[in-house]
């Protein structure tokens, strides 16, 4: 039987979430290092985004966008769940993105679910889906 430290894994997943999905100040190669080879992103209005090159372009756009606030960096997701086998996980929570638009601050709010899996004993981002509330 595999010995799993759920609390340590939950802490690590929250750290990855904050570094990868909230900060967006990290260089692109570091952000991509958190991704599994088969990662995907499903935005609320848009097609399924897959493939390293396409996801890299999305991240470049996010890093270039002047973001005022992108959620709770201190707490990260509100829930983290890890499978009994210790190799699959998800987190969920609310987000609020504030960015500078042409006519002032633009806010987006909504909910997200992020999926992770262990690859070579390291947690990797697999995918995310989110919605925007109006």
Mind listing the pLDDT tens digit for each residue in 43-82?
888 899 999 899 888 877 776 665 655 555 566 788 999 9
CATH of domain 6-133: 3.10.450.50
Q: Which pair of tokens denotes residue 39?
A: 């990662």
pTM: 0.85
pLDDT tens-digit series, residues 17-28? 887 776 666 678
């Amino acid at each position: 039987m595999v010995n799993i430290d759920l609390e340590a894994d939950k802490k690590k997943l929250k750290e990855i979430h904050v570094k990868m999905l909230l900060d967006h100040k990290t260089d692109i190669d570091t952000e991509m290092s958190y991704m599994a080879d088969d990662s995907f992103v499903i935005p609320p209005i848009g097609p399924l985004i897959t493939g390293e090159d396409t996801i890299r372009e999305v991240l470049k756009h996010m890093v270039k966008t002047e973001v005022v606030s992108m959620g709770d960096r201190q707490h990260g997701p509100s829930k983290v769940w890890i499978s009994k086998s210790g190799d699959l996980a998800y987190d969920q929570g609310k987000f609020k993105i504030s960015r500078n638009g042409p006519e002032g601050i633009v806010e987006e709010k909504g909910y997200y679910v992020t999926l992770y899996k262990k690859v070579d004993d390291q947690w990797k981002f697999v995918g995310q889906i989110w919605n925007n509330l109006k």
